[in-house]
Amino acid sequence: MKIVMLGAPGAGKGTQAKMIAKKCDIPHISTGDIFRENIKNGTPLGAKAKTYMDKGLLVPDELVCDLVVDRIQQDDCKNGYILDGFPRTIPQAQALEDALTKIGQKLDYAIDIEVPDENIIRRMSGRRSCPKCGAIYHVVNNPPKKEGICDVCGTELVFRADDKEETVRNRLDVYHTQTQPLIDFYKERGVLQEVDGTKSMDDVFGQIVSIIF
Ligand code: AMP
């Protein structure tokens, strides 16, 4: 099963992608997590990516495409994978399609989680994430069992710098201009599925499960 998650930042792609990856037993590949890991480890890629991420801008295509194309050819991806946060531009989608065609594969689904901008801004202000394992919480909608502490690994949760309201608005602008065109790209290829992302986490998951099973 090869799935791409689409949707604005904060639409719930990461949360749903993790749930699907677990259910289908396939790797969850988040380019945002890969960059954050590189920043934490002080790599040259992390340093380059950080200058864009902190402003809510996209990291240039050339820093992302090869990384993902290599990743999806690793052994653990032979039964499929779920891509979260990639592709984000038409050139990235094209690079993915070219790489898949070369190895005789194609995507099964591009799942678009739809949430209006105003809901996103409200959600992001309450979002907290785990800097160690990447788990995502919301202070009201999905709080951890112990305030401020990750349920999965016990690490103190953080408020991501790029979740600040001004940065979120930039990220939404970037999403509408650069990423939304992917909806038509995948519609034309007959793999697009749209779900209502304003519902609860479990409801959205149910909608996705009914599409892929
Ligand atoms: P995310 O965790 O998916 O919201 O990604 C956080 C940030 O990482 C984005 O705002 C971008 O700056 C960068 N990023 C992640 N994935 C990509 C991508 N496919 N193309 C360009 N930039 C990306």
Q: Which among 18, 48, 160, 164 is annotated as catalytic?
A: 160
13 is catalytic: yes
pLDDT of residue 161: 83
Q: Measured on CA atoms in the order 67, 94, 162, 134, is the torsion positive or negative? A: negative
| Residue owning the nearest CA to atom 8 of ligand 1 | 32
Residue 122 pLDDT level (bands cut at 50, 70, 90): confident
Give me the amino acid identity at 145. K
Query: Ligand 1: residues whose CB is within 6 Å?
Result: 9, 31-32, 35, 52-53, 56-59, 64, 85-86, 88, 92, 162, 171
Other CB atoms within 10 Å distance of the CB of residue 206: 13
Residue 162 pLDDT level (bands cut at 50, 70, 90): confident
Atom of ligand 1 nearest to the CA of 87: 19
Residue 80 pLDDT level (bands cut at 50, 70, 90): very high
Mutation choice for ligand 1 from 6, 18, 59, 173, CB with most ligand atoms inside 8 A: 59
128 is catalytic: no
Q: Measured on CA atoms in the order 28, 175, 34, 65, is the torsion positive or negative? A: positive
pLDDT of residue 189: 97
3-state SS string for the chain: CEEEEECCCCCCHHHHHHHHHHHHCCCEEEHHHHHHHHHHCCCHHHHHHHHHHCCCCCCCHHHHHHHHHHHCCCHHHCCCEEEECCCCCHHHHHHHHHHHHHCCCCCCEEEEEECCHHHHHHHHHCEEECCCCCCEEECCCECCCCCCECCCCCCECECCHHHCHHHHHHHHHHHHHHHCHHHHHHHHCCCEEEEECCCCHHHHHHHHHHHHC
User: Tokens 């594969």 map to which residue?
Assistant: 105
160 is catalytic: yes
Top-confidence residue, 56 or 60: 60
Other CB atoms within 10 Å distance of the CB of residue 173: 13
Residue 147 has pLDDT above 90, yes or no: yes
**Taking the complete model, does pTM exceed 0.85, yes or no?**
yes
